[in-house]
Amino acid sequence: MKLTLFTDDLREVPADLLAVGVFSDEPDRGLAFSHLNAALDGVLEQACRDERFRGEAGQSVLFNAAGGLAARRVLVYGFGERRLYDPESARRFAGTVSRTCRTAGAASAALVLTIRDVPAPAERIVDLVQALAEGSELGSYAFLPYRTKDAEPTRLKDLRVCFAAEDVQGVKGAMLRDALARGQVVASAVAGARDLVNEPPNTLTPTAFAEAAKKMAKTAGLGLRILGPRDLERQRMGLMLGVAKGSEEEPRLIHLIHEPESVGKKAPLLTLVGKGLTFDSGGLSLKDTENMLPMKSDMGGAAAVFGAMKALADLKVPCRVHGIIGAVENMPDGRAIRPSDVLRSRKGLTVEVVNTDAEGRLVLADLISYALDLKPTELIDVATLTGACMVALGRSMAGAFVDDDEMARDLEAAWLRSGERFWRMPIDGEMREELKSDVADLKNLGERFGGAISAALFLREFAGPDLARFAHLDIAGPVMANRDQGYVSKGGTGFGVRTLVEYARRRSTLSSTRE
Ligand code: BES
Ligand code: MN
Ligand code: ZN
Protein backbone atom coordinates (compact mmCIF):
# COMPACT_ATOMS: atom_id res chain seq x y z
CA MET A 1 0.00 0.00 0.00
CA LYS A 2 1.18 3.47 -0.81
CA LEU A 3 0.86 5.78 2.19
CA THR A 4 1.31 9.52 1.75
CA LEU A 5 0.86 12.60 3.90
CA PHE A 6 -0.74 15.77 2.67
CA THR A 7 -2.55 18.92 3.72
CA ASP A 8 -4.77 19.85 0.76
CA ASP A 9 -8.39 20.91 0.81
CA LEU A 10 -10.51 17.90 1.78
CA ARG A 11 -13.13 18.74 -0.83
CA GLU A 12 -10.59 18.33 -3.59
CA VAL A 13 -9.19 14.94 -2.55
CA PRO A 14 -9.72 12.48 -5.38
CA ALA A 15 -10.31 9.17 -3.62
CA ASP A 16 -12.82 6.35 -3.72
CA LEU A 17 -13.40 6.90 -0.04
CA LEU A 18 -12.80 9.83 2.27
CA ALA A 19 -12.91 9.06 5.98
CA VAL A 20 -13.40 11.52 8.78
CA GLY A 21 -13.47 10.78 12.51
CA VAL A 22 -15.69 12.66 14.95
CA PHE A 23 -16.09 12.77 18.72
CA SER A 24 -19.30 11.91 20.55
CA ASP A 25 -19.01 14.94 22.82
CA GLU A 26 -18.49 17.52 20.08
CA PRO A 27 -21.91 18.68 18.88
CA ASP A 28 -20.58 20.35 15.69
CA ARG A 29 -18.59 17.18 14.91
CA GLY A 30 -15.42 19.18 14.35
CA LEU A 31 -13.84 21.20 11.59
CA ALA A 32 -13.22 18.53 8.96
CA PHE A 33 -16.76 17.23 9.18
CA SER A 34 -18.18 20.77 9.01
CA HIS A 35 -16.21 21.56 5.84
CA LEU A 36 -17.45 18.41 4.14
CA ASN A 37 -20.98 18.90 5.36
CA ALA A 38 -21.04 22.46 4.01
CA ALA A 39 -19.74 21.27 0.64
CA LEU A 40 -22.57 18.74 0.60
CA ASP A 41 -25.25 21.30 1.57
CA GLY A 42 -25.84 19.70 4.96
CA VAL A 43 -26.79 16.28 3.63
CA LEU A 44 -23.93 14.59 5.51
CA GLU A 45 -25.28 15.75 8.87
CA GLN A 46 -28.74 14.64 7.79
CA ALA A 47 -27.46 11.18 6.88
CA CYS A 48 -25.75 10.86 10.26
CA ARG A 49 -28.97 11.80 12.04
CA ASP A 50 -30.98 9.35 9.95
CA GLU A 51 -28.58 6.58 10.98
CA ARG A 52 -28.69 7.71 14.63
CA PHE A 53 -24.94 8.21 14.42
CA ARG A 54 -23.66 9.79 17.63
CA GLY A 55 -19.94 9.34 17.17
CA GLU A 56 -19.67 6.56 19.71
CA ALA A 57 -16.46 4.56 19.59
CA GLY A 58 -16.36 2.31 16.52
CA GLN A 59 -19.72 3.53 15.09
CA SER A 60 -19.63 4.47 11.39
CA VAL A 61 -21.80 5.70 8.51
CA LEU A 62 -20.99 5.27 4.83
CA PHE A 63 -22.33 8.05 2.65
CA ASN A 64 -22.43 8.48 -1.13
CA ALA A 65 -21.05 11.91 -1.97
CA ALA A 66 -22.70 11.89 -5.41
CA GLY A 67 -20.65 14.63 -7.08
CA GLY A 68 -20.56 17.05 -4.15
CA LEU A 69 -16.91 16.23 -3.52
CA ALA A 70 -13.97 14.94 -5.48
CA ALA A 71 -14.24 11.79 -3.34
CA ARG A 72 -16.92 9.25 -4.25
CA ARG A 73 -17.91 8.25 -0.77
CA VAL A 74 -17.53 9.52 2.77
CA LEU A 75 -17.10 7.36 5.84
CA VAL A 76 -17.94 9.12 9.07
CA TYR A 77 -16.35 7.29 12.00
CA GLY A 78 -16.95 7.70 15.75
CA PHE A 79 -14.02 8.02 18.17
CA GLY A 80 -16.21 8.24 21.28
CA GLU A 81 -15.25 10.83 23.90
CA ARG A 82 -12.50 13.24 23.02
CA ARG A 83 -10.59 12.65 26.29
CA LEU A 84 -10.24 8.95 25.43
CA TYR A 85 -8.70 9.63 22.02
CA ASP A 86 -5.26 8.02 21.73
CA PRO A 87 -3.07 6.23 19.16
CA GLU A 88 -5.15 3.08 19.57
CA SER A 89 -8.26 5.08 18.46
CA ALA A 90 -6.36 6.07 15.32
CA ARG A 91 -5.26 2.45 14.77
CA ARG A 92 -8.88 1.24 14.98
CA PHE A 93 -10.12 4.07 12.78
CA ALA A 94 -7.58 3.27 10.09
CA GLY A 95 -8.38 -0.44 10.40
CA THR A 96 -12.07 0.24 9.87
CA VAL A 97 -11.30 2.43 6.87
CA SER A 98 -9.23 -0.34 5.26
CA ARG A 99 -11.80 -2.98 5.99
CA THR A 100 -14.62 -0.80 4.62
CA CYS A 101 -12.58 -0.24 1.45
CA ARG A 102 -12.35 -4.00 0.97
CA THR A 103 -16.07 -4.54 1.27
CA ALA A 104 -17.00 -1.37 -0.61
CA GLY A 105 -14.55 -2.10 -3.45
CA ALA A 106 -12.51 1.06 -2.93
CA ALA A 107 -8.86 1.03 -4.00
CA SER A 108 -7.95 4.53 -2.89
CA ALA A 109 -8.84 6.34 0.30
CA ALA A 110 -7.98 9.42 2.26
CA LEU A 111 -8.44 9.87 5.94
CA VAL A 112 -8.31 12.86 8.16
CA LEU A 113 -6.06 12.47 11.14
CA THR A 114 -7.55 14.16 14.15
CA ILE A 115 -4.92 16.08 16.06
CA ARG A 116 -6.43 19.53 16.33
CA ASP A 117 -6.92 20.65 19.93
CA VAL A 118 -5.52 17.43 21.30
CA PRO A 119 -2.55 18.07 23.56
CA ALA A 120 0.07 17.26 21.02
CA PRO A 121 3.68 16.82 22.00
CA ALA A 122 5.76 15.71 19.03
CA GLU A 123 6.12 12.19 20.40
CA ARG A 124 2.38 11.76 20.55
CA ILE A 125 1.82 12.88 16.98
CA VAL A 126 4.51 10.48 15.83
CA ASP A 127 2.77 7.68 17.75
CA LEU A 128 -0.56 8.58 16.17
CA VAL A 129 0.90 8.47 12.69
CA GLN A 130 2.62 5.14 13.30
CA ALA A 131 -0.60 3.69 14.74
CA LEU A 132 -2.50 4.88 11.71
CA ALA A 133 -0.10 3.16 9.35
CA GLU A 134 -0.36 -0.05 11.38
CA GLY A 135 -4.14 0.06 11.45
CA SER A 136 -4.55 0.70 7.75
CA GLU A 137 -2.18 -2.11 6.75
CA LEU A 138 -3.66 -4.60 9.21
CA GLY A 139 -7.25 -3.72 8.36
CA SER A 140 -6.69 -4.97 4.82
CA TYR A 141 -5.18 -8.28 5.99
CA ALA A 142 -6.70 -11.47 4.61
CA PHE A 143 -5.47 -15.06 4.62
CA LEU A 144 -6.13 -16.30 1.10
CA PRO A 145 -3.64 -19.01 0.02
CA TYR A 146 -6.23 -21.80 0.27
CA ARG A 147 -9.15 -20.03 -1.43
CA THR A 148 -9.55 -21.42 -4.90
CA LYS A 149 -12.95 -19.94 -5.68
CA ASP A 150 -13.30 -16.32 -4.64
CA ALA A 151 -10.93 -13.99 -6.36
CA GLU A 152 -9.14 -11.59 -4.09
CA PRO A 153 -11.44 -8.67 -3.31
CA THR A 154 -10.40 -5.10 -3.98
CA ARG A 155 -7.59 -4.07 -1.71
CA LEU A 156 -6.78 -0.60 -0.58
CA LYS A 157 -3.72 0.38 -2.58
CA ASP A 158 -3.40 4.06 -2.00
CA LEU A 159 -4.06 5.86 1.27
CA ARG A 160 -3.57 9.53 1.90
CA VAL A 161 -3.36 10.84 5.41
CA CYS A 162 -4.54 14.41 5.65
CA PHE A 163 -4.17 16.99 8.34
CA ALA A 164 -4.10 20.72 8.53
CA ALA A 165 -0.59 22.16 8.36
CA GLU A 166 -0.94 23.97 11.68
CA ASP A 167 -1.55 20.65 13.41
CA VAL A 168 1.96 19.52 13.03
CA GLN A 169 3.54 22.42 14.87
CA GLY A 170 7.16 21.65 15.38
CA VAL A 171 7.02 18.13 14.02
CA LYS A 172 9.13 17.69 10.91
CA GLY A 173 7.54 16.03 7.91
CA ALA A 174 10.46 13.62 7.83
CA MET A 175 9.63 12.41 11.32
CA LEU A 176 6.07 11.73 10.27
CA ARG A 177 7.15 9.90 7.14
CA ASP A 178 9.49 7.80 9.30
CA ALA A 179 6.58 6.99 11.59
CA LEU A 180 4.46 5.94 8.61
CA ALA A 181 7.23 3.70 7.33
CA ARG A 182 7.83 2.22 10.78
CA GLY A 183 4.12 1.47 11.16
CA GLN A 184 4.16 -0.33 7.83
CA VAL A 185 7.16 -2.45 8.80
CA VAL A 186 5.58 -3.38 12.13
CA ALA A 187 2.26 -4.18 10.44
CA SER A 188 3.96 -6.41 7.90
CA ALA A 189 5.64 -8.32 10.76
CA VAL A 190 2.27 -8.69 12.49
CA ALA A 191 0.75 -9.92 9.23
CA GLY A 192 3.60 -12.45 8.95
CA ALA A 193 2.75 -13.73 12.43
CA ARG A 194 -0.95 -13.92 11.49
CA ASP A 195 -0.06 -15.94 8.40
CA LEU A 196 1.86 -18.46 10.51
CA VAL A 197 -1.02 -18.85 12.98
CA ASN A 198 -3.58 -19.17 10.19
CA GLU A 199 -1.53 -21.71 8.24
CA PRO A 200 -3.01 -25.20 8.74
CA PRO A 201 -1.04 -27.62 10.92
CA ASN A 202 -0.55 -30.13 8.10
CA THR A 203 1.49 -27.56 6.18
CA LEU A 204 3.01 -25.60 9.06
CA THR A 205 4.94 -28.50 10.60
CA PRO A 206 8.01 -27.85 12.78
CA THR A 207 10.28 -28.36 9.75
CA ALA A 208 8.16 -25.99 7.65
CA PHE A 209 8.37 -23.44 10.46
CA ALA A 210 12.16 -23.72 10.36
CA GLU A 211 12.10 -23.28 6.56
CA ALA A 212 9.97 -20.16 6.94
CA ALA A 213 12.47 -18.83 9.49
CA LYS A 214 15.34 -19.54 7.12
CA LYS A 215 13.68 -17.58 4.35
CA MET A 216 12.76 -14.70 6.62
CA ALA A 217 16.22 -14.55 8.25
CA LYS A 218 17.85 -14.37 4.85
CA THR A 219 15.74 -11.46 3.57
CA ALA A 220 15.72 -9.57 6.86
CA GLY A 221 19.42 -10.11 7.53
CA LEU A 222 19.21 -12.09 10.77
CA GLY A 223 21.62 -14.76 11.96
CA LEU A 224 20.12 -18.23 12.25
CA ARG A 225 20.80 -21.59 13.87
CA ILE A 226 18.48 -24.53 13.47
CA LEU A 227 18.70 -27.54 15.79
CA GLY A 228 17.17 -30.90 14.84
CA PRO A 229 16.59 -34.03 16.96
CA ARG A 230 20.29 -35.04 17.09
CA ASP A 231 21.32 -31.55 18.21
CA LEU A 232 18.56 -31.51 20.79
CA GLU A 233 19.83 -34.82 22.15
CA ARG A 234 23.34 -33.41 22.33
CA GLN A 235 21.84 -30.48 24.21
CA ARG A 236 20.10 -32.97 26.54
CA MET A 237 16.75 -31.28 26.00
CA GLY A 238 14.78 -34.18 27.43
CA LEU A 239 11.60 -32.20 28.02
CA MET A 240 11.28 -30.81 24.50
CA LEU A 241 12.24 -34.18 22.99
CA GLY A 242 9.72 -35.89 25.25
CA VAL A 243 6.88 -33.76 23.90
CA ALA A 244 7.99 -34.46 20.32
CA LYS A 245 8.09 -38.24 20.81
CA GLY A 246 4.45 -38.91 19.93
CA SER A 247 4.68 -37.18 16.57
CA GLU A 248 5.92 -38.27 13.14
CA GLU A 249 7.17 -34.73 12.70
CA GLU A 250 10.70 -33.91 13.82
CA PRO A 251 11.08 -31.02 16.28
CA ARG A 252 13.14 -27.94 15.49
CA LEU A 253 14.75 -25.36 17.70
CA ILE A 254 14.96 -22.12 15.75
CA HIS A 255 17.46 -19.57 16.99
CA LEU A 256 17.26 -16.13 15.35
CA ILE A 257 20.01 -13.60 15.98
CA HIS A 258 19.77 -9.83 15.71
CA GLU A 259 23.18 -8.30 16.40
CA PRO A 260 23.59 -5.12 14.32
CA GLU A 261 27.18 -4.07 13.70
CA SER A 262 26.62 -0.74 15.43
CA VAL A 263 25.99 -2.60 18.69
CA GLY A 264 28.92 -4.14 20.54
CA LYS A 265 29.04 -7.86 21.29
CA LYS A 266 29.00 -7.02 24.98
CA ALA A 267 25.84 -4.92 24.85
CA PRO A 268 22.91 -6.05 27.03
CA LEU A 269 21.16 -9.06 25.51
CA LEU A 270 17.39 -9.49 25.33
CA THR A 271 16.24 -13.06 24.67
CA LEU A 272 12.74 -13.80 23.39
CA VAL A 273 11.47 -17.35 23.76
CA GLY A 274 8.39 -18.59 21.89
CA LYS A 275 6.17 -21.65 22.39
CA GLY A 276 5.76 -23.17 18.93
CA LEU A 277 3.40 -26.13 19.21
CA THR A 278 2.42 -26.41 15.57
CA PHE A 279 -0.43 -28.58 16.80
CA ASP A 280 -1.43 -29.54 20.34
CA SER A 281 -3.71 -32.58 20.35
CA GLY A 282 -3.00 -32.96 24.06
CA GLY A 283 -0.99 -36.14 23.42
CA LEU A 284 -2.24 -39.20 25.33
CA SER A 285 -4.09 -36.80 27.65
CA LEU A 286 -6.08 -36.16 24.48
CA LYS A 287 -8.22 -33.05 24.11
CA ASP A 288 -11.89 -33.36 23.10
CA THR A 289 -13.05 -32.21 19.66
CA GLU A 290 -14.09 -28.75 20.72
CA ASN A 291 -10.89 -27.94 22.62
CA MET A 292 -8.63 -29.45 19.99
CA LEU A 293 -9.96 -27.42 17.07
CA PRO A 294 -8.21 -24.12 17.85
CA MET A 295 -4.87 -25.82 18.59
CA LYS A 296 -3.17 -24.93 15.33
CA SER A 297 -2.77 -21.57 17.07
CA ASP A 298 -0.60 -23.10 19.79
CA MET A 299 2.45 -21.68 18.04
CA GLY A 300 1.19 -18.11 18.46
CA GLY A 301 3.99 -17.25 20.91
CA ALA A 302 6.58 -18.48 18.43
CA ALA A 303 4.86 -16.48 15.68
CA ALA A 304 5.10 -13.35 17.85
CA VAL A 305 8.83 -13.91 18.37
CA PHE A 306 9.28 -14.57 14.65
CA GLY A 307 7.43 -11.36 13.74
CA ALA A 308 9.25 -9.26 16.33
CA MET A 309 12.65 -10.47 15.10
CA LYS A 310 11.69 -9.62 11.52
CA ALA A 311 10.58 -6.11 12.50
CA LEU A 312 13.69 -5.45 14.62
CA ALA A 313 15.90 -6.43 11.69
CA ASP A 314 13.87 -4.45 9.14
CA LEU A 315 13.93 -1.38 11.40
CA LYS A 316 17.60 -1.90 12.23
CA VAL A 317 16.88 -1.32 15.90
CA PRO A 318 20.22 -0.83 17.66
CA CYS A 319 20.05 -3.56 20.29
CA ARG A 320 21.07 -7.21 20.76
CA VAL A 321 18.09 -9.54 20.61
CA HIS A 322 17.98 -13.31 20.17
CA GLY A 323 14.72 -15.13 19.38
CA ILE A 324 14.43 -18.78 20.35
CA ILE A 325 11.54 -20.84 19.08
CA GLY A 326 10.65 -24.41 20.00
CA ALA A 327 8.69 -25.88 17.09
CA VAL A 328 7.13 -29.21 18.06
CA GLU A 329 3.96 -31.19 17.51
CA ASN A 330 2.15 -32.84 20.44
CA MET A 331 0.51 -36.09 19.28
CA PRO A 332 -0.62 -39.42 20.81
CA ASP A 333 1.21 -42.46 19.48
CA GLY A 334 2.88 -45.71 20.49
CA ARG A 335 6.04 -43.80 21.22
CA ALA A 336 4.33 -40.85 22.91
CA ILE A 337 5.16 -39.93 26.50
CA ARG A 338 2.71 -41.33 29.07
CA PRO A 339 1.19 -39.64 32.10
CA SER A 340 3.59 -40.54 34.94
CA ASP A 341 6.67 -40.75 32.72
CA VAL A 342 9.67 -38.96 34.21
CA LEU A 343 11.82 -36.81 31.92
CA ARG A 344 15.17 -35.15 32.52
CA SER A 345 15.38 -31.47 31.59
CA ARG A 346 18.35 -29.72 30.03
CA LYS A 347 18.90 -27.97 33.34
CA GLY A 348 19.13 -31.35 35.08
CA LEU A 349 15.90 -31.20 37.05
CA THR A 350 13.64 -34.22 36.59
CA VAL A 351 9.96 -33.73 35.77
CA GLU A 352 7.09 -36.14 36.24
CA VAL A 353 4.62 -35.69 33.40
CA VAL A 354 1.23 -36.04 35.07
CA ASN A 355 -0.64 -34.65 32.08
CA THR A 356 0.76 -34.74 28.54
CA ASP A 357 -1.44 -31.76 27.63
CA ALA A 358 0.62 -29.49 29.88
CA GLU A 359 3.34 -29.71 27.21
CA GLY A 360 4.05 -26.02 26.61
CA ARG A 361 5.87 -25.54 29.91
CA LEU A 362 8.00 -28.61 29.17
CA VAL A 363 9.17 -27.20 25.86
CA LEU A 364 9.66 -23.70 27.30
CA ALA A 365 11.66 -24.99 30.28
CA ASP A 366 14.32 -26.46 27.97
CA LEU A 367 14.29 -23.39 25.71
CA ILE A 368 14.78 -21.11 28.71
CA SER A 369 17.73 -23.20 29.85
CA TYR A 370 19.22 -22.99 26.32
CA ALA A 371 18.68 -19.20 26.32
CA LEU A 372 20.37 -18.77 29.71
CA ASP A 373 23.61 -20.15 28.24
CA LEU A 374 23.70 -17.00 26.08
CA LYS A 375 24.03 -14.98 29.33
CA PRO A 376 21.11 -12.67 28.64
CA THR A 377 20.34 -9.55 30.66
CA GLU A 378 16.68 -10.34 30.31
CA LEU A 379 14.35 -13.00 29.01
CA ILE A 380 10.74 -12.79 27.87
CA ASP A 381 8.79 -15.88 26.93
CA VAL A 382 5.59 -15.66 24.91
CA ALA A 383 3.22 -18.61 24.93
CA THR A 384 -0.33 -19.78 24.46
CA LEU A 385 0.22 -21.55 27.73
CA THR A 386 -3.03 -22.05 29.62
CA GLY A 387 -6.77 -22.12 29.10
CA ALA A 388 -6.85 -20.86 32.70
CA CYS A 389 -5.37 -17.52 31.64
CA MET A 390 -8.11 -17.19 29.04
CA VAL A 391 -10.74 -17.98 31.68
CA ALA A 392 -9.25 -15.29 33.91
CA LEU A 393 -8.76 -12.48 31.39
CA GLY A 394 -10.96 -13.24 28.39
CA ARG A 395 -10.11 -13.11 24.73
CA SER A 396 -8.73 -9.61 24.44
CA MET A 397 -6.13 -9.53 27.21
CA ALA A 398 -2.94 -11.43 27.83
CA GLY A 399 -1.44 -12.19 31.24
CA ALA A 400 1.96 -10.74 32.14
CA PHE A 401 3.84 -12.59 34.87
CA VAL A 402 6.79 -10.46 35.93
CA ASP A 403 8.56 -10.63 39.30
CA ASP A 404 10.76 -7.61 38.86
CA ASP A 405 8.83 -4.35 39.31
CA GLU A 406 11.15 -2.31 37.15
CA MET A 407 10.85 -4.76 34.28
CA ALA A 408 7.08 -4.77 34.78
CA ARG A 409 7.05 -0.99 34.42
CA ASP A 410 9.14 -1.16 31.25
CA LEU A 411 6.88 -3.81 29.79
CA GLU A 412 3.77 -1.88 30.72
CA ALA A 413 5.10 1.21 28.98
CA ALA A 414 5.65 -0.92 25.88
CA TRP A 415 2.25 -2.56 25.83
CA LEU A 416 0.42 0.72 26.50
CA ARG A 417 2.20 2.33 23.58
CA SER A 418 1.59 -0.65 21.30
CA GLY A 419 -2.15 -0.75 21.99
CA GLU A 420 -1.99 -4.46 22.89
CA ARG A 421 -3.81 -5.29 26.11
CA PHE A 422 -2.09 -7.05 28.99
CA TRP A 423 -2.82 -7.44 32.68
CA ARG A 424 -0.13 -8.03 35.27
CA MET A 425 -0.72 -11.30 37.10
CA PRO A 426 0.57 -12.48 40.47
CA ILE A 427 3.25 -15.16 40.80
CA ASP A 428 2.06 -16.60 44.08
CA GLY A 429 4.94 -18.42 45.76
CA GLU A 430 2.58 -20.38 48.04
CA MET A 431 1.38 -22.37 45.05
CA ARG A 432 4.91 -23.66 44.48
CA GLU A 433 3.94 -26.62 46.74
CA GLU A 434 1.55 -27.87 44.08
CA LEU A 435 4.41 -28.66 41.74
CA LYS A 436 6.07 -31.15 44.08
CA SER A 437 6.17 -34.68 42.71
CA ASP A 438 6.24 -37.97 44.62
CA VAL A 439 8.94 -39.38 42.35
CA ALA A 440 10.74 -36.49 40.64
CA ASP A 441 11.97 -32.96 41.36
CA LEU A 442 8.85 -31.43 39.88
CA LYS A 443 5.60 -32.39 38.21
CA ASN A 444 4.22 -30.55 35.22
CA LEU A 445 0.82 -29.63 36.60
CA GLY A 446 -0.63 -28.09 39.75
CA GLU A 447 -4.27 -27.78 40.77
CA ARG A 448 -6.87 -26.62 38.30
CA PHE A 449 -7.41 -23.40 40.27
CA GLY A 450 -4.91 -20.70 39.39
CA GLY A 451 -3.63 -22.84 36.54
CA ALA A 452 -2.02 -19.89 34.76
CA ILE A 453 -0.08 -19.02 37.93
CA SER A 454 1.25 -22.52 38.61
CA ALA A 455 2.37 -22.69 34.96
CA ALA A 456 4.33 -19.46 35.48
CA LEU A 457 5.82 -20.88 38.69
CA PHE A 458 6.96 -23.96 36.78
CA LEU A 459 8.78 -21.76 34.24
CA ARG A 460 10.37 -19.69 36.98
CA GLU A 461 12.03 -22.84 38.32
CA PHE A 462 14.02 -22.87 35.09
CA ALA A 463 14.63 -19.14 34.64
CA GLY A 464 15.53 -18.31 38.22
CA PRO A 465 17.02 -17.51 40.56
CA ASP A 466 19.91 -15.69 38.85
CA LEU A 467 18.04 -13.84 36.14
CA ALA A 468 15.94 -11.13 37.75
CA ARG A 469 14.52 -9.75 34.55
CA PHE A 470 12.29 -12.63 33.50
CA ALA A 471 8.78 -12.18 32.14
CA HIS A 472 6.27 -14.78 31.03
CA LEU A 473 3.49 -13.60 28.70
CA ASP A 474 0.50 -15.94 28.42
CA ILE A 475 -1.31 -15.02 25.20
CA ALA A 476 -3.78 -17.95 25.05
CA GLY A 477 -6.74 -15.50 25.02
CA PRO A 478 -5.79 -12.96 22.34
CA VAL A 479 -3.89 -15.27 19.93
CA MET A 480 -7.04 -15.72 17.84
CA ALA A 481 -10.02 -13.42 17.25
CA ASN A 482 -13.50 -14.82 16.75
CA ARG A 483 -14.68 -11.92 14.59
CA ASP A 484 -13.47 -9.06 12.41
CA GLN A 485 -13.20 -5.79 14.29
CA GLY A 486 -11.23 -2.62 13.54
CA TYR A 487 -7.76 -3.70 12.44
CA VAL A 488 -8.23 -7.23 13.82
CA SER A 489 -9.46 -9.94 11.50
CA LYS A 490 -11.02 -13.24 12.46
CA GLY A 491 -8.34 -15.88 13.04
CA GLY A 492 -4.72 -15.29 14.04
CA THR A 493 -4.11 -11.81 15.44
CA GLY A 494 -0.31 -11.64 15.51
CA PHE A 495 -0.66 -10.59 19.14
CA GLY A 496 2.60 -9.85 20.93
CA VAL A 497 4.66 -8.62 17.99
CA ARG A 498 3.93 -4.95 18.61
CA THR A 499 4.69 -5.06 22.33
CA LEU A 500 7.95 -6.97 21.83
CA VAL A 501 9.13 -4.56 19.15
CA GLU A 502 8.21 -1.55 21.25
CA TYR A 503 9.94 -3.07 24.29
CA ALA A 504 13.18 -3.66 22.39
CA ARG A 505 13.05 -0.18 20.83
CA ARG A 506 12.59 1.42 24.23
CA ARG A 507 15.41 -0.62 25.71
CA SER A 508 17.70 0.55 22.93
CA THR A 509 16.89 4.24 23.37
CA LEU A 510 17.15 3.90 27.15
CA SER A 511 20.56 2.31 26.98
CA SER A 512 21.84 4.85 24.47
CA THR A 513 20.72 7.81 26.60
CA ARG A 514 22.32 6.25 29.68
CA GLU A 515 25.66 5.83 27.98
N1 BES B 1 -2.17 -24.93 24.42
C2 BES B 1 -2.91 -25.17 25.59
C3 BES B 1 -3.48 -23.90 26.22
C4 BES B 1 -4.52 -23.18 25.43
C5 BES B 1 -5.86 -23.40 25.68
C6 BES B 1 -4.18 -22.23 24.49
C7 BES B 1 -6.82 -22.70 24.96
C8 BES B 1 -5.13 -21.53 23.78
C9 BES B 1 -6.46 -21.77 24.01
C10 BES B 1 -2.03 -25.88 26.62
O11 BES B 1 -1.04 -26.68 26.11
C12 BES B 1 -2.96 -26.77 27.36
O13 BES B 1 -3.39 -27.74 26.81
N14 BES B 1 -3.27 -26.41 28.59
C15 BES B 1 -4.20 -27.14 29.34
C16 BES B 1 -3.58 -27.54 30.65
C17 BES B 1 -4.33 -28.67 31.27
C18 BES B 1 -3.62 -29.95 30.94
C19 BES B 1 -4.40 -28.52 32.75
C20 BES B 1 -5.39 -26.24 29.60
O21 BES B 1 -5.16 -25.06 29.85
O22 BES B 1 -6.51 -26.70 29.50
MN1 MN C 1 -1.65 -28.68 25.78
ZN1 ZN D 1 -0.36 -26.28 24.23
**Residue 290 Cα, ligand 1 centroid: separation in angstroms?**
12
The domain tally of the chain equals: 2
Which ligand does the CA of 332 lie closest to?
Answer: 2
Same domain (yes/no): 264, 334: yes
- Position in ligand 1 atom list of the atom nearest CA 277: 1
Q: Catalytic site residues?
A: 287, 361
**Residue 291 Cα, ligand 1 centroid: separation in angstroms?**
9
Predicted TM-score (pTM) of the model is 0.96
In a domain, 426, yes or no: yes
Q: Work out the burial of residue 293: count CB atoms within 10 Å of its CB; fewer than 13 is exposed, 13-18 middle, 19 or more buried.
A: exposed
**Residue 359 Cα, ligand 1 centroid: separation in angstroms?**
9
Cis peptide before 465 (omega within 30 of 0): yes
**Residue 311 Cα, ligand 1 centroid: separation in angstroms?**
29
What residue numbers bound the domain in which 429 lies? Answer: 199-510
Per-residue pLDDT of the chain (515 residues; tens, 9 = 90+): 888 877 778 899 989 999 999 999 998 998 889 999 999 999 999 999 999 999 999 999 999 988 889 999 999 999 999 999 999 999 999 999 999 999 889 999 999 887 665 556 677 788 999 999 999 999 999 999 999 887 677 778 899 888 755 455 566 778 888 999 999 999 999 999 999 999 999 999 999 999 999 999 999 999 999 999 999 999 999 999 999 999 999 999 999 999 999 999 899 999 999 999 999 999 999 999 999 999 999 999 999 999 999 999 999 999 999 999 999 999 999 999 999 999 999 999 999 999 999 999 999 999 999 999 999 999 999 999 999 999 999 999 999 999 999 999 999 999 999 999 999 999 999 999 999 999 999 999 999 999 999 999 999 999 989 899 999 999 999 999 999 999 999 999 999 999 999 999 998 865 544 33
Q: Is there a contact between 422 and 471 (Cβ–Cβ < 8 Å)?
A: no
Helices then strands, each counted (H, E), the chain: 15, 19
Same domain (yes/no): 361, 459: yes
Same domain (yes/no): 151, 205: no
Same domain (yes/no): 375, 437: yes
Neighbouring CB atoms inside 10 A of 12's CB total: 10
- Position in ligand 1 atom list of the atom nearest CA 297: 8
Same domain (yes/no): 276, 360: yes
Q: Measure the CA–CA gap between 408 and 402, rounded to whole angstroms.
A: 6
Same domain (yes/no): 207, 158: no
- Position in ligand 1 atom list of the atom nearest CA 389: 21
Nearest CA to ligand 1 atom 19: 358
In a domain, 260, yes or no: yes
Same domain (yes/no): 92, 156: yes
Q: Is there a contact between 179 and 131 (Cβ–Cβ < 8 Å)?
A: no
In a domain, 332, yes or no: yes
Task: List Cβ<8 Å contacts ≥24 apart for 391-396.
Answer: 392/425, 392/452, 393/423, 393/477, 394/477, 395/477, 395/478, 395/481, 395/482, 396/421, 396/477, 396/478
In a domain, 91, yes or no: yes
Measured in residues, the chain has a length of: 515
In a domain, 176, yes or no: no
Same domain (yes/no): 212, 124: no
Q: Measure the CA–CA gap between 342 and 239, rounded to whole angstroms.
A: 9
Q: Measure the CA–CA gap between 20 and 274, rounded to whole angstroms.
A: 39
Same domain (yes/no): 157, 206: no
In a domain, 350, yes or no: yes
CATH number, domain of 487, equals 3.40.630.10
Closest CA to 36 of 111, 92, 103: 111
Nearest CA to ligand 1 atom 5: 387
Ligand 1 is surrounded, with C-beta below 6 A, by: 280, 294, 298, 355, 357-360, 384-388, 390, 445, 451, 476
Nearest CA to ligand 1 atom 8: 476
